[in-house]
Structure 1
Amino acid sequence: MANTIAIKNATILTMTEESWIERGYVVIEGNRIRAVGQGDFQPGQPVGREIDAAGKVLLPGLVNTHGHAAMVLLRGYADDLPLMEWLETKCWPIEDRMTADDVYWGAQLAILEMLKSGTTCFTDMYYFMDEVARAAADSGIRAVLSRGMVGFPPKDEILLQESREFVKKWHGAANGRITTLLGPHAPYTCPPDYLKKVISLSEELDQPLQIHLSETAGEVERCMAEHGCTPIQLMEKLGLFERPTLAAHCVHVTDEDIEIMARRGVHVAHNPDSNLKLGSGIAPVVKMLAKGITVGLGTDGAASNNNLDMFEEMRQAAMIHKGAGLDPVAVPAYKALQMATNGGAKAVFLEDTLGTIQPGALADLILVDFDRPYYYPRHNVISHLVYAGQSGDVTDVIIDGQVVVENGRVLTLDEERIYREVERVCKRLFA
Structure 2
Amino acid sequence: MAAVENGDRTTRADLVITGCTALVHGEDGRIDFADDAAVVVRGGVVDAVTTAAAVADLPATERIDGSGQVAMPGLVNCHTHSPMVALRGIAEDMPVEEWFNDWIWPIESNLTDSVVELGALLACAEMIRGGVTTFADHYFAMDKVAAAVTHSGLRANLGWAYFSGQGTEGRERSLDFALSANGSADGRITTSLAPHAPYTVDDEDLAATAELAREHGLPVHLHAAENKAQTDHSLERYGRTPIEVLERAGLLDTDLLIAHGTGITGRDLPVLRRATGRVAVATAPRGYLKFGWDTTPVRALAGLGVPVGLATDGAASNNTLDVWESMTLTVLVQKSTERDPAWLTARQALDHATAQSARAVGLGDRIGALAPGRRADVILVDLTGPHTRPVHDVAATLVHSARSSDVRTTVVDGKVLMRDRRLLTLDVPAVAAELDRELPALIRRRDGRRIQEYNA
Q: TM-score range by the shorter chain?
A: over 0.9
Deviations 1:117-145 (A, max 9, x none): 10000010000000001100110000000
- Provide the secondary structure at the position in 2 that maps to 1:20: strand
- Offset at residue 283 of structure 1 (A): 1.7
CA contact under 8 A between 1:149 and 1:156: conserved in structure 2? no
Which residue pairs with 2:448 in the alignment?
none
- Offset at residue 316 of structure 1 (A): 0.5
- Offset at residue 88 of structure 1 (A): 1.3
CA contact under 8 A between 2:347 and 2:395: conserved in structure 1? yes
- Offset at residue 18 of structure 1 (A): 2.2
Q: 2:408 aligns with which of 391, 395, 399?
A: 395
Which residue pairs with 2:425 in the alignment?
412
- Provide the secondary structure at the position in 2 that maps to 1:57: strand
Cα distance in 1 between the residues matched to 2:12 and 2:171: 44
- Offset at residue 203 of structure 1 (A): 2.0
Cα distance in 1 between the residues matched to 2:237 and 2:206: 15
Deviations 1:156-185 (A, max 9, x none): 211122112201221011121000001111
CA contact under 8 A between 2:308 and 2:357: conserved in structure 1? yes
Cα distance in 1 between the residues matched to 2:279 and 2:54: 42
Which residue pairs with 1:425 in the alignment?
438
- Divergent runs of 4+, >4 A: none
Cα distance in 1 between the residues matched to 2:273 and 2:35: 37
Alignment of 1:65 with 2:78, yes or no, is: yes
Q: 1:312 aligns with which of 325, 341, 349?
A: 325
Which residue pairs with 2:187 in the alignment?
176
Q: 2:337 aligns with which of 311, 321, 324?
A: 324
Which residue identity is paired with 2:403?
A: Q
Q: 1:234 aligns with which of 228, 242, 245?
A: 245
Cα distance in 2 between the residues matched to 1:43 and 1:55: 18
Cα distance in 2 between the residues matched to 1:250 and 1:37: 40
Deviations 1:91-113 (A, max 9, x none): 00100101011100010111110
Cα distance in 2 between the residues matched to 1:202 and 1:84: 30
Name structure 2 gaps, 5 residues minimum.
Answer: 1-10, 445-456
Pairs within 5 Å for 1:189-268? 189-264=200-275, 265-268=278-281
CA contact under 8 A between 1:64 and 1:298: conserved in structure 2? yes
Which residue pairs with 1:7 in the alignment?
17
Q: 1:27 aligns with which of 40, 51, 57?
A: 40
Cα distance in 1 between the residues matched to 2:268 and 2:283: 16
- Offset at residue 352 of structure 1 (A): 2.5
Deviations 1:354-380 (A, max 9, x none): 111111111000011111112222211
Cα distance in 2 between the residues matched to 1:234 and 1:165: 25
Which residue identity is paired with 1:332?
A: T
Which residue pairs with 2:293 in the alignment?
280
Which residue pairs with 1:343 in the alignment?
356
- Offset at residue 38 of structure 1 (A): 2.5
Which residue identity is paired with 1:273?
A: R
- Offset at residue 60 of structure 1 (A): 0.6
- Offset at residue 353 of structure 1 (A): 4.9
CA contact under 8 A between 1:216 and 1:281: conserved in structure 2? yes
- Offset at residue 319 of structure 1 (A): 0.7
Which residue identity is paired with 1:387?
A: H
Structure 1 residues 71 and 2: CA distance shift in structure 2, 3 A = farther
CA contact under 8 A between 1:215 and 1:249: conserved in structure 2? yes
Which residue identity is paired with 1:94?
A: I
Cα distance in 1 between the residues matched to 2:90 and 2:156: 26
Comparing 374-383 with 106-115, which one deviates more in the overlay? Answer: 374-383
Which residue identity is paired with 2:198?
A: P
- Provide the secondary structure at the position in 1 that maps to 2:71: strand
Deviations 1:215-241 (A, max 9, x none): 122211221122111011111122111
Deviations 1:279-331 (A, max 9, x none): 22112111111221111010000111110101100100111111111100111
Pairs within 5 Å for 1:151-190? 151-152=164-165, 155-190=166-201
- Offset at residue 335 of structure 1 (A): 1.1
CA contact under 8 A between 1:367 and 1:396: conserved in structure 2? yes
Cα distance in 1 between the residues matched to 2:206 and 2:51: 51
CA contact under 8 A between 2:130 and 2:404: conserved in structure 1? yes
Pairs within 5 Å for 1:351-362? 351-362=364-375
CA contact under 8 A between 1:24 and 1:41: conserved in structure 2? no
Which residue pairs with 1:119 in the alignment?
132
- Provide the secondary structure at the position in 1 that maps to 2:164: coil
Query: How many residues are matched?
Result: 429
Cα root mean square deviation, aligned: 1.4
Pairs within 5 Å for 1:122-141? 122-141=135-154
- Provide the secondary structure at the position in 2 that maps to 1:358: coil
Cα distance in 2 between the residues matched to 1:209 and 1:258: 20
CA contact under 8 A between 1:318 and 1:336: conserved in structure 2? yes
